[in-house]
């Protein structure tokens, strides 16, 4: 039973770490991201750069860090319990 718990914790921890890395490795969580758009001015015929905020969730280390830490601690504690159980069985 403890083997399954250890495997699940390790998979969750690396999944969370991978999602954080894949989403941009930001320090702070963002809900909106600036996007630059080129618009053509009809009156003068020039192009104007306009920056707008687009809704996009980017996971930051401020939320991912404590989750990774808690899962890491739970994994270490589970491994220690598993080793203690294996020593009891060996006696």
pLDDT (tens digit per residue) in 7-23 = 999 999 999 999 999 98
- Give backbone dihedrals phi and psi of 42, rounded to 5 degrees, phi first: -70, -35
Position 79 scores a pLDDT of 92
Q: How many domains does the chain have?
A: 1
Torsion of CA 68, 74, 80, 83, to 10 degrees: -100
Give the pLDDT band (50/70/90) at residue 45.
Answer: confident
Give the pLDDT band (50/70/90) at residue 41.
Answer: confident
Distances (CA, A) of 69 to 8, 29, 76: 15, 17, 11
User: How much is the pTM?
Assistant: 0.73
As a whole number, the mean pLDDT across the chain is 91
Q: What domain range includes position 77?
A: 2-90
Q: How confident is the model over 65-74, as a mean pLDDT?
A: 94
């Amino acid at each position: 039973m403890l083997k399954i718990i250890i495997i699940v914790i390790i998979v969750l921890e690396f999944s969370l770490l991978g999602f954080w890395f894949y989403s941009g490795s930001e320090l702070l969580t963002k809900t909106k991201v600036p996007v630059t758009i080129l618009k053509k001015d009809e009156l003068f015929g020039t192009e104007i750069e306009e920056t707008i905020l687009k809704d996009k969730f980017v996971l930051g280390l401020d939320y991912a860090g404590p989750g990774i830490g808690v899962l890491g601690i739970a994994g270490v504690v589970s491994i220690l319990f598993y080793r203690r159980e294996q020593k009891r069985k060996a006696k």
